[in-house]
């Protein structure tokens, strides 16, 4: 819990884990205090990469009690929402830039009884999410171009994190502000300072070093950032 009373969660992104040994990665991340798992679904159309679909989400579901945060980097999110909800996703996060009508996607996901989040590419202004802000469980601010793990954090998105936090606060929403892309020991603190509450960490958890050590260091850095948080 941050001094501001907000719960801060670290969400390891399985995209950076060894796919041949996912069960072990999940077990270790859960034991080491992860607050959720982040699953990056890519369709080769919305982003220039392909990852996995509902089948893998279901396999992960069977291995953990952690909330599953499903990041849909796909066209036609409304069409696929049911499959990911059935697979065990707890929150479905779709992109505002996808072709579907965003308000319709929000309705569709909520009707499935799972959480709904809206993601913004780095260049997408916060204003795009305003029309249905009160219905969201999460606003995801991308801090890299979606499509690949291991990219460099874009600090120019930090004002958008602050804007999201302030606007959600002003309507009394407890929705998470998530930050995704290039989150490391150096960037997690600044994101917390601006009001992010949910931190997607790919390479910084699974590449180089031990999952347990990496998560512990990220936890210290995020708590320190939150201590300095803008209220
Ligand atoms: C990128 C994905 C991210 C990615 C993060 O499109 O949305 O979730 O896995 O990986 P890192 O933390 O390595 O940037
Ligand atoms: Zn992601």
Residues facing residue 180 across a β-bridge:
142, 200
pLDDT of residue 6: 76
Which three-class secondary structure state does DSSP give residue 155?
A: helix
Cβ atoms 195, 162 nearer than 8 A: yes
Asked whether the whole model's pTM tops 0.95, one would answer yes
Atom of ligand 1 nearest to the CA of 184: 12
Q: How many CA atoms lie within 13 A of 156 on its CB side?
A: 9
50, 141, 157, 200, best to mutate for ligand 1 pocket (most atoms within 8 Å of CB): 200
Compute the 3-state secondary structure of the chain and give helix, strand, coil in percent, each to the nearest 5: 40, 20, 40
pLDDT of residue 231: 61
186 annotated active-site: no
Distance between Cα 200 and ligand 1 center (Å): 7
Q: Minimal CA–CA distance to 197: which of 167, 165, 224?
A: 165
Give the pLDDT of the chain (231 residues) as one tens digit per residue.
Answer: 454 567 999 999 999 999 999 999 999 999 999 999 999 999 999 999 999 999 999 999 999 999 999 999 999 999 999 999 999 999 999 999 999 999 999 999 999 999 999 999 999 999 999 999 999 999 999 999 999 999 999 999 999 999 999 999 999 999 999 999 999 999 999 999 999 999 999 999 999 889 999 999 999 999 999 998 866
What residues does the ion ligand 2 have nearby, CB within 5 Å?
40, 71, 180
101 annotated active-site: no
pLDDT of residue 228: 87
pLDDT of residue 3: 46
């Amino acid at each position: 819990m941050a001094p501001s009373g907000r719960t801060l969660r670290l969400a390891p992104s399985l995209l950076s884990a060894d796919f041949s040994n996912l069960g072990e990665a999940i077990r270790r991340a859960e034991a080491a205090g992860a607050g959720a798992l982040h699953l990056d679904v890519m369709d080769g159309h919305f982003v220039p990469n392909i990852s996995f679909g509902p089948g893998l989400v279901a396999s992960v579901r069977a291995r953990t009690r952690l909330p599953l945060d499903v990041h849909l980097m796909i066209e036609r999110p409304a069409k696929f929402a049911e499959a990911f909800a059935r697979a065990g996703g707890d929150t479905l996060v779709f992109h505002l830039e996808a072709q579907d009508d965003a308000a319709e996607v929000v309705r569709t996901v909520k009707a499935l009884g799972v959480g709904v989040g809206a993601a913004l590419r780095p260049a997408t202004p916060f204003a795009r999410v305003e029309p249905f802000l009160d219905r969201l469980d999460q606003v995801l601010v991308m801090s890299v171009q979606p499509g690949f793990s291991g990219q460099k954090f874009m600090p120019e998105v930090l004002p958008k994190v602050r804007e999201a936090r302030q606007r959600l606060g002003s309507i009394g929403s407890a929705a998470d502000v998530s930050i995704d892309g290039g989150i490391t020991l150096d960037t997690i603190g600044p994101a917390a300072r601006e009001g992010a509450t949910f931190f997607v960490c790919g390479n910084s958890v699974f590449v180089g070093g031990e999952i347990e050590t990496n998560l512990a260091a990220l936890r210290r850095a995020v708590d320190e950032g939150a201590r300095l948080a803008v209220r």
